[in-house]
Chain A
């Protein structure tokens, strides 16, 4: 195993089941960041709660492992306070699309310059097997005994329609491609969603490694991922789910670029000083 700058000296014991897709995602994430020569001190992982969010525990860098569903809000606060940081918000489908659904919508609208990695296994792992927002119709679970009848959440279509500047889907079973896509996501200026299909060996007996392999394909090389309408069409394909970068727009202004706080001063907030004389002047002029 290659040791990266993001590995601990002692490899921590993980809470994941043998064969879990999370292992591949973690490995690829560390290698990607390393290959991009990212300084681990400059990186922050903002994570919520769930088996996927535990990734933050197994990577040697800065992290804020906060509440279930809230990683995107925390990430937004970080990036807006110090645009020099490289911020990765990481979690599972329940974390990001369920509990954190509202933040998912509005973080995209803000175009916060972060990478949002969503481990999408179409099921809840940590709470032992209930349906997730992306569970396919008919999936029987310990709670949806007769099968899920809700329409599955389509993160790709939602993200594109909200104006996300980078939308991709990958599969943990193809680490080479996952790395390629992740590299582009990290290099992208603006919000980048990477929804990663991966099997849950304990609770999802339908959407297995084999199922994902048989039910996905990579978008054609000729596919123009800067064409929003073409992208949205792709997003609605479900016979076989398209993988790759579905949509990309590098020209959009980021959240920090739009903030007044950085109009005259690009430095992170913690390096600035408040002029109390100026506050006094304002007070006297109220």
Chain B
């Protein structure tokens, strides 16, 4: 019995591969397998070549692998981009006419699936993707009733005729798959059936809802837009103000007006949009307006690779905005943390009146996996605004630098926010002494945060000699590589709080004889930050910046090479 398996679907944009992906992972999860899927898209609506990788396993995983166990071809020219990922062990399934002659020389196991004829029998080419879904399910002997249920659910708004036609189509594919009698056994666990299957996008959205987020505005930009779509879908149920902004500048200012008036607001964007928000972030800093920004990274500079992944915007988040001011940056690596950190982001923004940035990336956002259910009664929605009295002063100088935040028309006082340097009442001042006091007040606000700061997590042996450092979305791949290496000398330090650096940073790094830094960018930005704030340097960097996420094989080999 195998413990993990990878299926890659390769075809053109517009062929409905995403539907196959979503239906398949749901069917497998509901059958007791851990699932993970990730999509590699070209930036186009039709044509080109897109691939989706689906992995399932008895073990939890959250990473991309190079190795393809089963490759399913949905169009012509669907192999050449992934040629180096297939081997003699790969099962290549597809219509004979889609597979180029050069692959038919006997070195690959090819199974002809006459998709065109099957689709024609089912009623047309439109059924191709559903047939594929049935086919995959058939290979692995998934309960056909479950498949039918999922089809009915998926097409529930389309009427009975469409449901029936799709059930016929899926059954056709299912029978074909089952008839192959491949008998591939993968470990499974019944407990997984009740787990939740979600995307990175949904993890951020759920975290926001659990934080009482009731206002979101954003300008659409891949790969960040899913978050506003998610909240828009639930706006009615949860009473959320959702507005598509005319630009990111508007979005960042609108959420400040919203927080000012008592909302819990966020915006979601990617690098270029975030760059436009910089002035607004600086404004939030001096006015001490809480803000939460989700920054889903994609490779730059400028338009870069709009549909690919990179961790290239850490410095952007770290240094964004003119002037000097504190901020908090989180980078979840798994979806549990995505929910937890997004939830916390709102409370912290409110409590410390600072910008809180949640840093994800295309790989994190667009991938899917199952996670255990979470007890939401453990979450607290902390509202930190106060009812004002008659003599209320917005920027009252306090011991910890945090001035109680009033909101207008809630109490007896006036609430005056100002972007100029200001006095305690919020009026413009140019007094040098007061300026210094206000700067010290703002810069000192996070001093009390260190009590609730989030430590880096050590994964693997606590008695490590070599410590591998990673942050955010590389969590899954480094974790799996460490498990593969299975050596007590190795451990992985997973950083989910990027700034301020966690309290345990220096301690865990100092314990290691050797440090390896892994980042999905070209200039080791997190390494630079660690050096800046702790003085510690990395002798070994594993960096990748071709737009693709790291694969498990790649990380495993590179770590081994540094042994």
Instruction: Spell out A's residues near B (CB within 8 Å).
Output: 12, 40-42, 44, 46, 49, 57, 60-67, 70, 73-82, 84-85, 102-103, 105-106, 110, 259-265, 268-274, 276-280, 282-284, 286
Contact = CB atoms under 8 A, between A and B. Distances in A.
A270 B247 CA distance: 26
B238 A283 contact: no
Q: From A49, A77, A85, A106, name the one whose CB has the most chain B CB atoms within 10 angstroms.
A: A77
B240 interface: yes
Contact of A260 (B202, B236, B245, B381): B236
A63 B206 CA distance: 33
Interface in B132-153: none
B385 interface: yes
Nearest to B414: A62
The 6 closest A-B pairs by CB, nearest first: A77-B257, A270-B262, A73-B253, A74-B257, A280-B376, A81-B263
A73 B528 CA distance: 36
Contacts of A284: 196, 373
Given A63-B417, A67-B283, A276-B381, 14 more contacts: A41-B413, A66-B419, A67-B279, A73-B251, A74-B260, A77-B256, A77-B260, A78-B257, A105-B246, A106-B246, A261-B240, A270-B263, A273-B381, A286-B196
Interface of B: 196-198, 202, 206, 209-210, 212, 214-215, 217, 234-243, 245-247, 249-251, 253-265, 279-280, 283, 287, 339, 373-377, 379, 381, 383, 385, 407-410, 412-420, 426-428
A232 B442 CA distance: 49
B356 to A, nearest CB: 17
B414 A60 contact: yes
28 contacts: A12-B427, A41-B414, A42-B408, A49-B419, A60-B414, A63-B426, A66-B253, A66-B419, A67-B280, A73-B245, A73-B251, A80-B243, A81-B257, A85-B409, A103-B250, A103-B253, A106-B250, A259-B241, A259-B242, A261-B239, A268-B262, A270-B263, A273-B381, A274-B381, A277-B376, A277-B377, A279-B238, A280-B374
A64 B416 CA distance: 6
A274 B542 CA distance: 43
B395 to A, nearest CB: 13
A263 B254 contact: no
A79 B242 CA distance: 13
Contacts of B206: 279, 282-283, 286
Given A106-B250, A260-B242, A276-B377, A270 B410 contact: yes
A82 B265 CA distance: 13
Nearest to B211: A274
Given A49-B419, A64-B417, A70-B280, A260 B376 contact: no
Contacts of B410: 270
A278 B412 contact: no
B265 A77 contact: yes
Given A81-B215, A85-B261, A269 B428 contact: no
A80 B280 contact: no
Nearest to A270: B262
Contacts of B212: 273-274
B237 A82 contact: no
